[in-house]
Amino acid sequence: MKRFNLEPARDALFLDIDGTLIDIAPTPEEVVIPEGLVRHLHRLHDRLGGALALISGRRLADIDPMLDANDLPAAGAHGAEFRLKGGEKPQPPAPLPETLTRDIVRSFAGHPGVTVEDKSCAVAVHYRRTPAMEQTVKERIREITEGLAEPFKILHGKMVVEITRPGDNKGGALERFMQHPPFAGRRPVFLGDDETDLAAIDACLRLGGAAARVGGYEGTPAALSSPEHVRKWLLAQLA
């Protein structure tokens, strides 16, 4: 986000995690948290008067220990989980039908390079270890979800396909945060990196804010080249 600095009394900052704050790993469990990142996030949260929130496809149960984020506002599982204040215990979202999750797990059981992540309220199929499986993964998920009585949404991220309920998306989570203090009345600023973040980018711009897609995205004010660039930008906001 070239030549852009946060104004602590005016801005509200929303951050995706994987591919934005931290580098993507072969599996979600293999990510490495850079030294100083957790400390910098908490300092920036304080500087913004509490108007900093994490918006991720990960579950809150994964986000909190990874980033010591229990006391930060956060939305997990693409907005299915929502915590306005640190320490809150949000109402658990309704799980996906057990048969749907079971069919997906069974469908990819014979492919060791494919990882199925059951989030209860969503299920993600990662194929980063076997990129050649991309088309197969997409086709099988389409086949499994076609004709189901309940509609589901298919999200395409970086080497991952995820099944969620239609109402769960990061844009809705950002809009929900903006309805409550300390976010209400501020200008939203959002950083994300892949297609699952586009709803939040669109919502942010629609609300008169600023947004950037890490790696670049036509239509956003500026681009950050990598998570490392994002971390340097965050640190600069504390100077």
Q: Is residue 98 classed exposed, middle or buried when 0-12, 13-18 and 19+ CB atoms within 10 A define those classes? A: exposed
Give the whole-angstrom CA distance, residue 56 versus residue 50.
Answer: 18
Give the whole-angstrom CA distance, residue 239 versus residue 237.
Answer: 6
Only one residue has tokens 């950050």, namely 224
Query: Of 11, 16, 62, 168, which is the active-site residue?
Result: 16
Only one residue has tokens 């293999």, namely 30
Give the whole-angstrom CA distance, residue 202 versus residue 171.
Answer: 7
**Which residue from 182, 166, 155 is spatially nearest to 73, judged by alpha carbons?**
182
Beta strands 187-192 and 210-213: pairing type?
Answer: parallel
202 as an active site residue: the answer is no
DSSP E strand stretches across the chain: 11-15, 52-55, 74-76, 81-83, 115-118, 123-126, 153-157, 160-164, 187-192, 210-213
Active site residues: 16
